[in-house]
Structure 1
Amino acid sequence: MPRYALKIEYDGAPFAGWQRQKEHPSVQQAVEEALGRLQRDRPTIAAAGRTDSGVHALAQVAHADMERDWEPFRLSEALNFHLKPLPVAIVDVVKVSEAWHARFSAGERRYLFRLLNRRAPAALAAGKVWRVGYPLDVSRMRAGADFLLGRHDFTTFRASECQADSPVRTLDQLDVRAVETPLGPEVHFHVRARSFLHNQVRSFVGTLERVGAGAWEPEQVREALEARDRSVCGPVCPPQGLYLAGVGYQPDPFL
């Protein structure tokens, strides 16, 4: 059966996350139901990562095995037609080998977190950013972020219900950038690793927000990391500012 890689963009607000669930709508369910409109047997898809409830994606990647040989552009057009009016879009489709796997072939995942740093409520960006209404010192946040780079036991920064076999991960990038936007100043967190623990990025951002606000010193991030104790983590920030920004493959099938 021909296998296709799908690059997917979605607004996570209406969904209980990526993964199919019995009682709540999911992005996986939406895409699988669209695929099921194209053939009798509804395909089951596998994705590069499982985003949580309220988390968005700029470029989630999944793969599906189809009964017939589709021209990729036609498949994307058909899926987008059947996905309407849901806030899910297939932005690219490519044919891949049967050995290619959206999750297991991935070499890295990239996340973006958007923090809107203004006093006024978010109107146009509601549900797409985390608004913080008091000043933040981005240079202090960068100093705290530097302690998290590299290979560490990230027990402090993973959810208590995380099912990963090991808390050890290698964090390749955690850039904290001040960005001027038409809506006001934002702080963007660009995070990159081969894989992540449950709530790891949101734990990073919530902790670094405390550093930027002056409630923590940057060195306390290192102390929290070394404690390997979830109870000393800063607050976990809300999900609406988090985006799965991309998935890396070698070679990249979409290029």
Structure 2
Amino acid sequence: MRLRMVVAYDGAPFHGFARNEGVDTVAGRLEDALGRVVGAPVELTCAGRTDKGVHAHGQVVHVDVPEGSVDLVGLARSLNRMCAPSIGVRAIDVVDRDFDARFSATARRYRYLVRCAPWPDPAMARSAWYVDEPLSLPAMVLGCDPLIGEHDFAAFCRRPVRRDGQEASLVRRVTQATWHDDGDGILRFEIEASSFCHQMVRSVVGTLVDVGRGRLRPGDLLDVIRSRDRSFAGQLAPPHGLTLQVVRYPGWCTDDASATWPMPR
């Protein structure tokens, strides 16, 4: 039986999503808890492997468990009790065997928060990048325009090493990218694409913040993309401002997910 789960987590205490022996990870914590509930080892597959310190509101995972081995309501409650407060299971349902949390996904949306203010807000220390100088939001919004469309994003990514020695493609299609002013010095960046390469969003954010500081012009983003050279892009934004917000699939996305069990009494 294949289960699909929508998971939220605070990435601060974890060394990323993927299981890594010797350190605490999101997958490691969830797999251990699931294994105890179903009485057998399990292995999760996720929509996107987030790095150390990166959060999620709409991460999607699938896992295979023995047929009829779990009650979904009881499983959700057990996992949330065992994994709280850093991990929350928002929804669980049964899906077809051909559903794959990673390869069935058609788009992912990330959010990045920047706090631009004279003083840091300790309550946002784990969720927003504090920048203590003025940023030009209109310039940062204009800087998003060159990102839209299909490009080789090598200038913004760490190039993966493939086992066959071939150069991995870093071509990605970005469908949405813009900044929003949420008030109280909070600037919110949202970007959606079919998929992302490693550190792409954080590199894009760091470069756009350089645009906001006046170190780059909005039109320079096109030159950065065309360069395919990481040294042309700006700094790498810290991980704690980044959240995997939404994952889309044919006919369904994590925005549609809602808890289907009542609150425990």
For 1:132 and 1:140, the matched residues in 2 are separated by 16
Q: 1:253 to 1:160 in 2, by over 3 A?
A: closer
Letter in 2 for 1:13: A
Select the residue among 170, 186, 189 that pairs with 2:173. 170
For 1:75 and 1:90, the matched residues in 2 are separated by 10
Aligned to 2:260: none
1:231 to partner: Cα distance: 1.1
1:73 to partner: Cα distance: 2.1
1:141-180 → structure 2 map (5 Å cutoff): 141-161=140-160, 165-180=168-183
For 1:48 and 1:226, the matched residues in 2 are separated by 28
The sequence identity of aligned pairs, in percent, is 35
Is the Cα–Cα contact under 8 Å of residues 4 and 64 in structure 1 kept in the other structure?
yes
Aligned to 1:59: 58
For structure 2, the residue ranges without an aligned partner over 5 or more in a row are 257-265
Aligned to 1:228: 228
Which moved further from structure 2: 35-44 or 198-207? 35-44
Q: Deviations over 1:59-80 (max 9, x none)?
A: 1000111114233222211211
SS at 1:37 equivalent: helix
1:87-236 → structure 2 map (5 Å cutoff): 87-161=86-160, 165-180=168-183, 184-236=184-236
1:66-85 → structure 2 map (5 Å cutoff): 66-69=65-68, 70-84=70-84
For structure 1, the residue ranges without an aligned partner over 5 or more in a row are none
For 1:51 and 1:171, the matched residues in 2 are separated by 19
For 2:125 and 2:222, the matched residues in 1 are separated by 33
For 1:71 and 1:77, the matched residues in 2 are separated by 10
1:162 to partner: Cα distance: 6.6
Q: TM-score, normalization: structure 2?
A: 0.90
SS at 1:28 equivalent: helix
CA RMSD of aligned residues (A): 1.5
Dislocated runs of 4+, deviation >3 Å: 160-164
For 2:161 and 2:27, the matched residues in 1 are separated by 20
Is the Cα–Cα contact under 8 Å of residues 107 and 249 in structure 2 kept in the other structure?
yes
For 1:217 and 1:82, the matched residues in 2 are separated by 49
Q: Deviations over 1:198-244 (max 9, x none)?
A: 00000110000000111111111111111111111110110000000
